[in-house]
């Protein structure tokens, strides 16, 4: 395949940035999207040009780093799929593909397609954990958890912190990400002691980082590669209201 790429190039956080046309040649339909970019970068290096900076790590849909807008859609055209798991068979020979970084005030661009997502880490640090007394290992299965709760916690825990929800929301809201983290811990007995304190602290940090509020566009759910449902946002709001209005700890 031969593809015409329109790629966002930005030399650094203070650079204005611009779209650049780059040809991708000898692309196999079996390549992943990131392998296509690897091939393009090898060709750019041979030509003496700067390779495209992009984030990646696991390439298995686990780490959440491979974040980019492809033809205006976070992670590209296949639903429930990260960029690293997207394959070039989803495109046709001769296609023009637009590739841009996440665009959100809370995710400033560092270079080309790489953005700074440390705001998510600061939200996790504010409350996305459980405190435990360490000691001898507990007997296995001595803390029974109802199957529906275990399933719901597991669904929420699938969030990989990629930020597609933020990048796709017209308000740059991080509520699906925060709700997934709060829902994951809040469905488990270990998450109960700090449940309401956690909701208050994580929501406060989310606001402090400059993320917007949810106004029910549901774009976050539509693009989430782990298909986290927006129902977790409702659950987070209930926890937050109880913490804020009733002083629940």
- Contacts to ligand FES by CB under 6 A: 56-59, 61-66, 82-84, 160
Please say whether the beta carbons of 205 and 122 come within 8 A.
yes
**How many residues line the site for ligand SF4 (CB under 6 A)?**
14
Residue 176 contacts which entry, ligand SF4, ligand FES, none (Cβ below 5-8 A, type-dependent): ligand SF4
Of 97, 115, 159, 214, the one binding ligand SF4 (CB under 6 A) is 159
Of 115, 119, 169, 180, the one binding ligand SF4 (CB under 6 A) is 180
Q: Which range, of 44-52, 121-129, 176-184, 199-207, touches ligand SF4 by CB under 6 A?
A: 176-184
In the complex with ligand SF4, which residue's Cβ is closer, 143 or 213? 213
Could you tell me the smallest distance in angstroms from the CB atom of residue 225 to ligand FES?
8
Of 7, 69, 70, 160, the one binding ligand SF4 (CB under 6 A) is 160
Structure token digits, residue 140: 């296995």
Lookup result for tokens 């005030």: 105
Query: Of 174, 159, 181, which Cα lies nearest the Cα of 226?
Result: 159
In the complex with ligand SF4, which residue's Cβ is closer, 29 or 154? 154
Structure token digits, residue 176: 């699906």
Interface pattern 210-239 for ligand SF4 (x via CB under 6 A)? --------------xxx-x-----------
In the complex with ligand SF4, which residue's Cβ is closer, 81 or 98? 81
Q: Which range, of 22-30, 48-56, 173-181, 205-213, touches ligand SF4 by CB under 6 A?
A: 173-181
Q: Which range, of 5-13, 93-101, 172-180, 197-205, touches ligand SF4 by CB under 6 A?
A: 172-180
In DSSP terms, which residues pair with 109 in a beta bridge?
115
In the complex with ligand FES, which residue's Cβ is closer, 82 or 104? 82
Binding footprint of ligand SF4 on the chain (CB under 6 A): 159-165, 176-177, 180, 224-226, 228
């Amino acid at each position: 395949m031969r593809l015409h790429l329109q790629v966002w190039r930005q030399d650094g956080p203070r650079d204005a940035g611009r779209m650049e046309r780059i040809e991708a040649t000898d692309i196999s339909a079996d390549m992943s999207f990131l392998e296509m970019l690897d091939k393009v970068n090898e060709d750019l290096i041979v030509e003496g040009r700067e390779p495209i900076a992009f984030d990646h790590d696991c390439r298995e849909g686990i780490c959440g780093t491979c974040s980019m807008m492809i033809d205006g859609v976070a992670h590209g055209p296949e639903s429930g799929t990260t960029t690293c798991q997207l394959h070039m068979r989803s495109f046709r020979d001769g296609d023009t593909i637009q590739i841009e970084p996440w665009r959100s005030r809370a995710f400033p661009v560092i270079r080309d397609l790489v953005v700074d997502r440390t705001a998510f880490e600061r939200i996790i640090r504010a409350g996305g954990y459980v405190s435990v007394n360490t000691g001898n290992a507990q007997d296995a299965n001595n803390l029974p958890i109802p199957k529906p709760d275990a399933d719901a916690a597991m669904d929420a825990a699938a969030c990989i912190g990629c930020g597609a929800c933020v990048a796709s929301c017209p308000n740059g809201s991080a509520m699906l990400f925060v709700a997934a983290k709060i829902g994951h811990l809040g469905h488990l007995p270990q998450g109960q002691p700090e449940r309401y304190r956690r909701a208050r602290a994580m929501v406060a940090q989310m606001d402090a980082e400059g993320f917007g509020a949810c106004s029910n566009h549901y774009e976050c759910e539509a693009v989430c590669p782990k298909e986290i449902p927006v129902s977790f946002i409702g659950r987070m709001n209930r926890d937050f209201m109880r913490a804020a209005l009733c002083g629940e700890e």
